[in-house]
Chain A
Amino acid sequence: MLDELPSDDWTPEAAAHLLNRAGFGGTPGEIAALHKVGRSRAVDFLLAGDEDADLFPPPAASEPVNLVEMLSKSKELTEEERQMKKKEMQRIFRDQTIELRAWWLDRMRWTSHPAREKALLFWHGHWATSIEKVKEPFFMWQQNETLRTLSLGSFRRMASEISKDPAMMRYLDLQQSKRDKPNENFARELMELFTLGEGHYSEQDIAESARAFTGYRVKQSTRQFEFQPRQHDSGQKTFFGKTGNFTGDDVLDLILAHPETARFLARKLWVFYAGSEPSPELLNALADEYRSTDYDTGRLLKRAFNCREFYSPTVVRRQVKGPIQWLVGTCKVLEIPLPSAIACNGILQQLGQIPFAPPNVKGWDGGRAWISSATLLLRYNIAGYIISGKAQGLPGFGGNTPSRSTISVEKVFSAEGSAEALCASVGWRLFQSPLPPDLERKFVAYLSTHGMGSAARRDLLHLMMSTPEFQLT
């Protein structure tokens, strides 16, 4: 298990697969460059990344809206003025949220460290927290930054930081947990969804650990975590059969010492990246690796991305692209910028993956759940919008349809050469594997019938994206 992929099997398809799964895919040139350096260096390169923080100026949400000021002022106001203020605040939050989403999507699109953003997408779905309940975009931005720093690092630190993360504390009612009346919401999900999985703890473990996480508060003025000893239950607790005056971090240590935690997390990471269930032997090996590195996510992924199993035929091009992967990856292979912030918002809402708004604390189900007859047709139609710029009838874009210029087709689909050669080359760009013969025949026939004009080539790009095959990575 976890043997390295033989160097003979390091093909351009394998390099494309690595780039698709570790990141969001890339152009034929990027794939060729990655292939050239060899597997091991390619994996190291992707996981190490470049320093790129300066390229992305922070969004408006990185400054907290001064609620104190807004609220204190509101006391002197009439009811009507107060309602206006409230509406104003909601508008600011809404605009900031849409901008925040676009900001993160842009990072995924342009970053020179895509593996970090991809891992961050995993962790966002793992520690699923939604703006719907958290309300303040600032908290969501802050959580995003916390997770980014640790996305390829220590899960131990990440768990501790997230338990003190204001967005999470608000989402799972931790900041309302009182010494005399501990709220069990966070404690329950911590074990059921974030670390152990169902069946490895008791209701008593939940109640006792909820006591350990009391005293966690968000300071009103700074909008940061603050520990309030007076609200903390420092008494004796019994957790997993051990007794002590446990704090929240003590409980996390005990959870991380539980062998099921490494298995639960390793399985979830493998399913996210490989798109299929690991065999029992593979799962054991991955869990051992995670534990032996003290939950170093980057080191686990390094083993995973180098191993033979990751490139098996049951893995390669067998994963349904998630909506974000689909959108960002499409723009990368077409070498175009993302649609406007409002359009991205609408697209991802329709396709079922709105960043900062997972459907519930379990995150997105992923896999085949992304696809229904409704979302498949929507993907085809949104592909048409991305290619043609026409948004007629697409829902979620509001009344004022954002216009987008038609893409320039020359860069990705030139008219130089035979129809066969062109279809093969654009097919590699879009699918990163040879086209099935019958599809290729049809595409070639389309070009022969409709000519090589740029409009016909654009139409064909849309049709190529309107296939089941394009939904896979």
Chain B
Amino acid sequence: MSKTLHTRRKFLRTSLLGGAVAWTVPIFLERTFSALDAMAADSLVGGVSGKDGPILVILQLAGGNDGLNTLIPYTDDAYYRARPRLGIQGTQVLKINDHLGLHPKLTSLRGLYDEGRMGIVQGVGYPNPNRSHFRSTEIWQTAVDSNKTSTTGWLGRYFDSCCEGADPAVGVNIGSQSPQAFAAGEPKGISFARPEQFRFNSSQSSDPAAADEFFRSMNETSDDRNDGGSIGMLKGSVDSGGDTLDFLRRTGLDAQMSSDKVLEITRKSKSPVPYPNSNLASSFNLVARLIGGGMPTRVYYVGQGGFDTHSGQAGSHDRLMGDLDAAVGAFTADLKAQGNFDRVVLMTFSEFGRRVAENASGGTDHGAAAPLFVIGGGVHAGLFGQTPSLTNLNNGDIIHNIDFRSVYATVLENWLHAPSNEILRGTFPKLPFV
């Protein structure tokens, strides 16, 4: 049996003994392994428990956000020469200084910037950029050089190195497929899109109570299940290296361990601020309720798609920026109302920016470096990194001047208090945004 499964079952059992009716007392999840299990406590690095630790929220803009029309160099002639149709006029941009302004729809973000709660990191990318969505996303998620691959993601390695023995909900992804960034040696993190479906639905049975009890019992006393038994089922040998069944059992346990808590929180809590009607806003609303409800989560992951604007970009990018701004605006207002804004850093990223020059279809093609945002009560506001040149290009693409792993290193070291060298497999200079 894998170590994780073993520890998790131990956790389940301890919790069961610790509380008289543990399965119906959702607060058990607020305690971590360390509180209940001395063995796990020994190996705990620290800082992963409780309701007051720092929280990181990642927002992925999938498809390649057009960085140049997000942070607009409105005094640069080269910008308007490259974008005769798509260029946004200086009179429209939300100016943040004498050269740069935000997309006109980003009014909430501009407010956060003015409040001193938003940092903008410019020209973020990596050497030898790859223009494939899939490959470039993988590079960002696994945080490796563009000519290398890794089976683990950068957040997964953070979980591995700093969150051993932590609650599986240390990472929460809003969606049904787990992001590659969460892939870890000892996988952690849960995913769900709809809290009401994030539970075993025993109401379909003729005897719901019996079904529920039985379903739980299949997991809780699994310590009795020896490897030989499961292998008999698999017709395989112990050392065959295939641990797919272990993976499934672990996922099932993680889901079971978290679902009561998630349901409890989401049923009870209501956001004090109104959210707009979009998928992204719903995701942020869920995250805010989970934070407010005291989930032991360190990293939340949400996504917004549709940024692959090869044609007819003007209208679609406006809508995307509008949705993004409204959702982030509601989320930050919610966190402030909760009193949790100082505990949260929200970071955006996209697999690449887009080509400097617009194309013949009123859109832009896959590019390279782009700016990203970091937002939160603890963020030092301002611009970080140099504004990229629009004349000194590499194959029509912006040349990066900040490696994305510098952003990761900053967040890991200065926000999550984690050793970035080990996680990022190298040393990257930190930035002073947090």
Q: Are B234 and A462 in contact (CB under 8 A)?
A: no
B-side contacts of A467, CB under 8 Å: 218
Query: How far, in whole Å, are A434 and B229 apart by their CA atoms in the complex?
Result: 10
Q: Are A374 and B197 in contact (CB under 8 A)?
A: yes
Q: Are B255 and A377 in contact (CB under 8 A)?
A: yes
| Residues A377 and B218 in contact in the complex (CB < 8 Å), given A316-B235, A318-B234, A437-B229 | no
Partner of A459, one of B192, B207, B244: B207
Q: Which chain B residues (335-378) contact chain A, with CB distance < 8 Å?
A: 360
A390 at the A/B interface (Cβ < 8 Å)? yes
Query: How far, in whole Å, are A431 and B233 apart by their CA atoms in the complex?
Result: 9
A-side contacts of B225, CB under 8 Å: 436, 438-439
Residue of B nearest to A387 (CB): B204
Give A272 Cβ to nearest chain B Cβ, in Å.
Answer: 15
B27 at the A/B interface (Cβ < 8 Å)? no
A456 at the A/B interface (Cβ < 8 Å)? yes
**What would be 19 A-B contacts, judged by CB atoms less than 8 Å apart?**
A13-B235, A313-B235, A314-B236, A314-B241, A314-B242, A350-B176, A352-B176, A369-B177, A369-B178, A371-B251, A373-B192, A374-B190, A375-B176, A376-B255, A380-B200, A381-B201, A438-B222, A463-B211, A463-B214
Query: How far, in whole Å, are A313 and B244 apart by their CA atoms in the complex?
Result: 12
Give B343 Cβ to nearest chain A Cβ, in Å.
Answer: 24
Give B221 Cβ to nearest chain A Cβ, in Å.
Answer: 8
**Chain B residues in the interface with A (C-beta under 8 A):** 132-135, 168, 173, 175-178, 190-194, 196-207, 210-211, 214-215, 217-218, 222, 224-226, 229-230, 232-237, 240-242, 244-245, 247-249, 251-252, 254-255, 258-259, 360
Interface string of A439-473 (1 = CB under 8 A from B): 10010001001100001101100110011110110
Q: Are B191 and A456 in contact (CB under 8 A)?
A: no
A319 at the A/B interface (Cβ < 8 Å)? yes
Partner of B229, one of A317, A395, A436: A436
Partner of B236, one of A181, A313, A362, A388: A313
By the criterion of a CB under 8 Å from any partner CB, how many residues of chain A are at the interface?
63
Q: Are B132 and A198 in contact (CB under 8 A)?
A: yes
| Residues A388 and B204 in contact in the complex (CB < 8 Å), given A433-B233, A438-B225, A438-B229 | yes
Q: Are A373 and B233 in contact (CB under 8 A)?
A: no
Residue of A nearest to B172 (CB): A373
Query: How far, in whole Å, are A436 and B224 apart by their CA atoms in the complex?
Result: 11
**Chain A residues in the interface with B (C-beta under 8 A):** 13, 181, 192, 198, 276, 312-314, 316-320, 350, 352, 360, 362, 365, 368-369, 371-378, 380-381, 384-385, 387-388, 390, 392-395, 431, 433-439, 442, 446, 449-450, 455-456, 458-459, 462-463, 466-469, 471-472
- Chain B interface, >50% SS class: helix
B-side contacts of A471, CB under 8 Å: 248
Q: Which of A373, A385, A471 has the most CB of B within 10 A?
A: A373
Q: Are B215 and A463 in contact (CB under 8 A)?
A: yes
Query: How far, in whole Å, are A319 and B173 apart by their CA atoms in the complex?
Result: 24
Query: How far, in whole Å, are A471 and B252 apart by their CA atoms in the complex?
Result: 11
B-side contacts of A462, CB under 8 Å: 204-205, 211
Give A405 Cβ to nearest chain B Cβ, in Å.
Answer: 14
A-side contacts of B135, CB under 8 Å: 198
Q: Are B215 and A436 in contact (CB under 8 A)?
A: no
Partner of A438, one of B224, B248, B249, B255: B224
Residue of A nearest to B63 (CB): A360
B-side contacts of A468, CB under 8 Å: 245, 248-249, 251-252
Q: Are B200 and A466 in contact (CB under 8 A)?
A: yes
| Residues A313 and B234 in contact in the complex (CB < 8 Å), given A372-B191, A462-B205 | yes
Query: How far, in whole Å, are A459 and B252 apart by their CA atoms in the complex?
Result: 19
Known: A317-B233, A374-B197. 17 other contacts (CB 8 A): A312-B240, A313-B235, A373-B198, A373-B254, A373-B259, A374-B190, A374-B194, A376-B255, A395-B194, A395-B197, A437-B229, A438-B226, A455-B206, A456-B206, A458-B206, A467-B218, A472-B234
Q: Are A469 and B240 in contact (CB under 8 A)?
A: no
Partner of A371, one of B217, B232, B247: B247
A-side contacts of B222, CB under 8 Å: 438
Query: How far, in whole Å, are A458 and B204 apart by their CA atoms in the complex?
Result: 10
Give A121 Cβ to nearest chain B Cβ, in Å.
Answer: 19
Q: Are B197 and A381 in contact (CB under 8 A)?
A: yes
| Residues A374 and B176 in contact in the complex (CB < 8 Å), given A198-B132, A388-B204 | yes
Partner of A437, one of B168, B232, B236, B249: B232
Closest 8 CB pairs of A and B: A313-B236, A468-B248, A384-B204, A373-B255, A372-B191, A455-B206, A374-B192, A436-B229
Q: Which of A13, A374, A467, A471 has the most CB of B within 10 A?
A: A374
Residue of B nearest to A189 (CB): B132
Q: Are B233 and A469 in contact (CB under 8 A)?
A: yes
Q: Are B245 and A472 in contact (CB under 8 A)?
A: yes
A-side contacts of B133, CB under 8 Å: 360
Query: How far, in whole Å, are A400 and B108 apart by their CA atoms in the complex?
Result: 39
A-side contacts of B202, CB under 8 Å: 384
Q: Which of B218, B222, B230 has the most CB of A within 10 A?
A: B218
Q: Are B258 and A373 in contact (CB under 8 A)?
A: yes
Partner of B198, one of A316, A362, A374, A437: A374
| Residues A469 and B360 in contact in the complex (CB < 8 Å), given A377-B200, A438-B224, A446-B214 | no
Query: How far, in whole Å, are A200 and B192 apart by their CA atoms in the complex?
Result: 38
Give B173 Cβ to nearest chain A Cβ, in Å.
Answer: 7
A-side contacts of B254, CB under 8 Å: 373
| Residues A314 and B203 in contact in the complex (CB < 8 Å), given A374-B193, A436-B229, A438-B224 | no
A-side contacts of B191, CB under 8 Å: 372-375
Give A146 Cβ to nearest chain B Cβ, in Å.
Answer: 25
| Residues A376 and B242 in contact in the complex (CB < 8 Å), given A381-B201, A434-B233 | no
Q: Are A319 and B207 in contact (CB under 8 A)?
A: no
A-side contacts of B178, CB under 8 Å: 369, 372
Q: Are B233 and A393 in contact (CB under 8 A)?
A: no
B-side contacts of A369, CB under 8 Å: 177-178
A-side contacts of B258, CB under 8 Å: 373
Residue of B nearest to A391 (CB): B204
Give A162 Cβ to nearest chain B Cβ, in Å.
Answer: 20
Residue of B nearest to A374 (CB): B192
Q: Are A381 and B200 in contact (CB under 8 A)?
A: yes
A-side contacts of B200, CB under 8 Å: 377, 380-381, 466
A-side contacts of B194, CB under 8 Å: 374, 395
Query: How far, in whole Å, are A88 and B83 apart by their CA atoms in the complex?
Result: 38
Give B185 Cβ to nearest chain A Cβ, in Å.
Answer: 14
Give B250 Cβ to nearest chain A Cβ, in Å.
Answer: 9
Partner of B132, one of A181, A192, A449, A466: A192
Query: How far, in whole Å, are A266 and B325 apart by their CA atoms in the complex?
Result: 46
Give A214 Cβ to nearest chain B Cβ, in Å.
Answer: 15
Q: Are A435 and B176 in contact (CB under 8 A)?
A: no
A-side contacts of B241, CB under 8 Å: 314
A-side contacts of B203, CB under 8 Å: 390, 392-393
Q: Are A318 and B177 in contact (CB under 8 A)?
A: no
Query: How far, in whole Å, are A446 and B214 apart by their CA atoms in the complex?
Result: 8
Query: How far, in whole Å, are A431 and B232 apart by their CA atoms in the complex?
Result: 12
Residue of B nearest to A181 (CB): B360
A-side contacts of B210, CB under 8 Å: 449-450, 459
Q: Are A318 and B232 in contact (CB under 8 A)?
A: no
Residue of B nearest to A311 (CB): B235
| Residues A393 and B197 in contact in the complex (CB < 8 Å), given A313-B240, A369-B177, A463-B214 | yes
Q: Are B205 and A459 in contact (CB under 8 A)?
A: yes
| Residues A459 and B211 in contact in the complex (CB < 8 Å), given A381-B204, A433-B235 | yes
Q: Which of A372, A435, A463 has the most CB of B within 10 A?
A: A372
B-side contacts of A365, CB under 8 Å: 177
